[in-house]
Amino acid sequence: MEQTIISLETEGLFLSKKRGLLLASKRKEVISTVPLDDIAALIVSAHGTSYTNSLVVNLAERNIPLVLCGKNHQPAAWIHPIKSHFKQAKYLRAQASLTKAKANRLWKQVVVAKISWQIFALEKQGIVSKTLGRLARQVSNGDPQNIEAQAARLYWRLMMGPNFRRETSGGGANILLNYGYTVLRAAVCRALVAAGLNPCFGIHHRSQVNSFQLVDDLMEPFRPLVDLAVKELVLNDDDEINPQTKAELGSILHHSLPGNGTGPVINHIYRLALEYRDYIAGDAEKIEFAFPKALTLPLKAARKTSVSTKRISPDVAIGNV
């Protein structure tokens, strides 16, 4: 079933539920309706939005994250279900008892995959960096040399230009990146909760104030897909958040991932969540991260990218999942 990420920025909306539908109303007039079962995540950036308790409970029962964003389109709060899987207790114990050695091996895989997709994103822009390929091969368990940060500094200069600084409070491309990462974060969070995992038990991220450490860990390899979409928007002089850019960034999850396996990005996110769960629980021997093709590293074959977007009104932008 094709699902949809819904992003709301219209001021003063009233959100409610009726007969399995999400209703968006303004001044007591319904302006949009969407079946709840068709929603992958609900992202709200608008001021003055109000909700019924019934809607919020139904979103949680369907494992639909409700993401509340600030002015910079960064998540300020998340609502996700407490219970999502019949074996959740087993998997929570596995998360809590994850050994440092296993976590270090996992983090190496995450970093190598992320750098590989960074190389792919650059090559899609006609930029080849042998240095990034060399850095990817130098990553060791736990990344004690912080190769990830070294690669990031070079990557951003090549991708966005020498004067670009990745700042969550910045304007232009930074705002688009914030929004794209919010979409990605919501998708990863939903996949983890659906797999019976708690997002707060991270692999590498250890901040005591971050309740979504595992989300931030496992979304890392997919970030360059957002970066590439943002770069293409910027090249087209479209560097503001509007219904069109939101729909384009929301559609990233529906792109066919140019890597191993079949299906859109969201399928690979769900597969990764399940493989991670089974690996830490001792039910699987390894995790297969998706890799792009034709890079400096000896990577697997890839598939071509396709895009599909749609909107249900000028004020409610959605991307297919």
Which band of pLDDT confidence, cut at 50, 70 and 90, is reported for residue 41? confident
Residue 73's pLDDT is 65
Give the residue-averaged pLDDT of 32-53.
86
Residue 261's pLDDT is 54
Choice between 310 and 146, residue whose per-residue pLDDT is larger: 146
Give the residue-averaged pLDDT of 189-206.
83
Mean pLDDT of the chain: 82
Give the residue-averaged pLDDT of 134-154.
96
Which band of pLDDT confidence, cut at 50, 70 and 90, is reported for residue 144? very high
CATH 3.100.10.20 spans which residues of the chain? 4-79
Amino acid (1-letter code) at residue 240? E
Q: How far is it between the farthest Cα atoms of the chain?
A: 59
Residue 83 has pLDDT above 90, yes or no: no
CATH 1.20.120.920 spans which residues of the chain? 88-305
Homologous superfamily (CATH) for 88-305: CRISPR-associated endonuclease Cas1, C-terminal domain (1.20.120.920)
Give the residue-averaged pLDDT of 197-213.
80
Residue 319 has pLDDT above 50, yes or no: no
pTM exceeds 0.85, yes or no: no
CA distance linking residue 215 with residue 191, whole number of Å: 9
Residue 100's pLDDT is 93
Residue 207's pLDDT is 64
Residue 299 has pLDDT above 80, yes or no: no
Nearest CA-CA partner of 115 in 156, 162, 74:
156
Q: Which of 84-88, 127-131, 278-282, 314-318 has the lowest mean pLDDT?
A: 314-318
Give the residue-averaged pLDDT of 142-146.
95
Find out whether 278 and 267 touch, Cβ atoms under 8 Å: no
Choice between 156 and 190, residue whose per-residue pLDDT is larger: 156
CATH architecture under which domain 4-79 falls = Ribosomal Protein L15; Chain: K; domain 2 (3.100)
